[in-house]
Chains A and B, each alone.
Chain A
Amino acid sequence: MKILIIEDEKELSDSIATYLKTEGYRCEFAADFYTAIEKTEQFDYDCIVLDISLPGGSGLEILRQLKADKKMDGVLIISAKNSIDDKVIGLRLGADDYLAKPFHLAELSARIAAIIRRKHFEGTDIIKFEAITIDAKAQTVTINGRSLELTRKEYELLLFFVSNKNRVISKNAIAEHLWGDDLQGNYDFIYTHIKNLRKKLDEADYIKSVYGMGYKFSL
């Protein structure tokens, strides 16, 4: 899977690449408008992580260009402006998703995974992790063939874990993934969600509590 990170802050694109590489993605960089245009014209990517304010031009212009060229690359906009206009315009221009800076890498990774899944598995969208099988299209979960009844948020939580397997995910990242970033404050209630999910997963409970930091989904 090939990802293009269009972002002028080298430190940030490095972090993104480091995080994504362990997922098996190959990452390329473009730090300004012209490099970005050049690369998107020459190559195809599974997903493009696109910053809006770039030296040399707007990321929205790159998006326009992509769509004019009928490119099929998935596009995830990351913007520092968190401006609703940017979001609306970006999505209208054909971006697949929008994420405001600062974001959790776990969130970014989950969103990229979702975009790529939507692009590649048009008929079926099955994610497997050991005994767990998630059908992202039908939003159903089975464990060793036995179907599992999950609430909406439990399902989202499981999908988030699977998308970030073998990673330490903070309570903040989980809370914001589930409830959006409007829910400021104490995230202790996350514990209840995790506890319920673990109970339901039973023999396939791969969730581990990482003391003081959050949770990890791994064998």
Chain B
Amino acid sequence: MKLLTKYNQVNIAATVTILLLSGVVFYFFIEAALIHQLDKTLIQEEKEITAFIKENNRLPEPNDSKEEQETYTPAGNQPIYRSFQSVTAHYENNKRERLYRQLEFAVAADGRLYRADVRKSQVETEDVIQLVSKITLAIVILLLAVLFVISRLILNKLWKPFQVTLQQIKAFNVSMKDSVQLPSTTINEFAELIEAVEQMTQKAKKDYQEIKSFTENASHEIQTPLAIIASKIELLSQSDNLKEDQMHTIQSIAETTNRLAKLNQSLILLTKIDNRQFGATTPVDVSRMVLQILYNYEELFLSRSIQIKQQIDPGVKQTMNEALAEILIINLLTNSFRHNVENGSVTVILQDKYLSISNTGNAISTLPELLFERFRKEAVSSESMGLGLSIVKKICDIYHFKVTYQYQNLLHTITIHFS
């Protein structure tokens, strides 16, 4: 649930309740006040009647008008209590009953006891009360409308810095080059939030950069000792009179060192691509490059009797870094060689929109979507590093190419869709 909705729910419920409640209280207070006023005029009437009787020793003329009525009834034996009450009564000969406020009291005239009823119309009072109720209701409706408009327009606007900040946080990536673009605001809470986000993202980026440059430096520093080890092994292997098991050991060290060096080189390459350290992009003649690399690898495929089929459209150009383009194509081709089988085949198709390389090979157990992850490899050729395809993916990401993998009819196909 949105904060705004929740806030509105509570706010509107409270407002409506209070307004209705106050409407009811208002109603009773006004009614009580008006009736009190009526009662005071009735008491005045009573005084005047009593004064009249005292002076004239007779009852005044009864009155039966619409607004005011005075009636005198012989009391008989019934006791008469002075009392106020609201009653309905007819006036003159009118059939309709009206609401009146009545004061009942006892008067004595001509030596007899009468019950005097003085009434005053209460209808006006009711009108006033109705009006008050209507006004209250109108206020409630108006208030709701205003609240609605406020929440729609003003609150949405007020929350804007928050929304923008949220968007920025969602889009944030530690490897981003530029810093996050946060809005400015005069609202303290948001200003505080934005400041915190700013500090946090900057720190995350700084930490990431530090880790990255550490990795990079470490990788570079490792190259030299590796070069020394490799050279010493090579010298050692030149020694005369090596025993067979010593030769094996030397070979095993040599291969492992080689693997380590390759792994390190791949990691350096990945870091470099990550850091966008391949600057210059030029229109690269992909067709020519593919043909050239295929030509270079021809004998390699031949050595395992792998047939090369190619359908390469001439003049396919992509604007990218030439070295990266070469790495991309070489990685794909060597991949199709490494995972191929004796007497297999590789098919290279290059068109304006895509480059696809299919090769025969054993079925893989890895999920296709995991294939491009780092260090993902199939057990069959365990000497490979599993970094080749993640390098392919990285390069494609830079140029917004889409890479897909398909396994169908015993053919593994990797397709690069140019953007």
Contact = CB atoms under 8 A, between A and B. Distances in A.
Answer yes or no: are A and B bound together in one complex. Answer: yes
Contact of B223 (A19, A80, A154): A80
Given A82-B223, A101-B226, A181 B235 contact: no
Given A19-B234, A81-B220, A186-B381, A213 B327 contact: no
B261 A102 contact: yes
A84 interface: yes
Interface of A: 9, 11-12, 15-16, 18-19, 22, 80-84, 100-106, 151-154, 167-168, 170, 172-173, 178-186, 189, 192-193, 210-214
Contacts of A192: 303-304
Contacts of A154: 299
A107 to B, nearest CB: 10
A82 B228 contact: no
A202 B251 CA distance: 28
B268 A19 contact: no
Contacts of A182: 327, 330-331, 334
A94 B127 CA distance: 108
A184 to B, nearest CB: 5
Given A11-B232, A167-B238, A179-B300, A213 B338 contact: no
Contacts of B238: 19, 22, 167-168
B158 to A, nearest CB: 51
A170 B330 contact: no
Interface in B374-414: 381, 383-385, 388
Nearest to A9: B224
A9 B261 CA distance: 17
Nearest to A182: B330
Q: How large is the interface on B (under 10, 10 to 19, 20 to 34, 35 or more residues)?
A: 35 or more
Contacts of A193: 299, 303
Contacts of B234: 15, 19, 104-106, 170, 173
B125 interface: no
Nearest to A87: B323
Contacts of B166: none
Interface of B: 220, 223-224, 226-232, 234-235, 237-238, 244, 247-248, 250-251, 254-255, 257-259, 261-262, 265, 268, 272, 277-278, 296-297, 299-300, 303-304, 323, 327, 330-331, 334, 337-338, 381, 383-385, 388
Given A102-B226, A185-B383, 14 more contacts: A9-B227, A11-B228, A11-B231, A11-B232, A15-B228, A19-B234, A80-B223, A100-B265, A172-B255, A179-B300, A179-B334, A181-B262, A184-B338, A184-B384
A170 B233 CA distance: 10
A108 to B, nearest CB: 9
A153 B299 contact: yes
A159 B248 CA distance: 27
B235 A15 contact: yes
A122 to B, nearest CB: 28
A100 B234 CA distance: 17
21 contacts: A9-B228, A12-B227, A15-B232, A15-B235, A19-B235, A80-B220, A81-B223, A102-B223, A102-B226, A102-B261, A105-B231, A179-B334, A181-B262, A182-B331, A184-B383, A189-B303, A193-B303, A212-B248, A212-B251, A213-B251, A214-B251
A200 B220 CA distance: 43
A168 B246 CA distance: 14
A172 B227 contact: no
B304 A185 contact: no
Nearest to B272: A83
B383 A186 contact: yes
Contacts of A101: 223-224, 226-227
Nearest to A22: B238
Nearest to A10: B228
B250 A213 contact: yes
A192 B300 CA distance: 9
A102 B230 contact: yes
Contacts of A170: 234, 237, 251, 254
Contacts of B272: 83
Nearest to B263: A184
A12 B383 CA distance: 27
A212 B299 contact: no
A18 B235 contact: yes
Given A102-B226, A103-B227, A213 B300 contact: no
B388 A184 contact: yes
A211 B251 CA distance: 10
A93 to B, nearest CB: 17
A179 B293 CA distance: 10
Contact of A179 (B226, B251, B297): B297
What are the 3 closest A-B residue pairs judged by CB atoms, nearest first? A15-B231, A102-B227, A80-B223
A82 B231 CA distance: 17
Given A102-B227, A151-B299, A185 B237 contact: no
Contacts of A22: 238
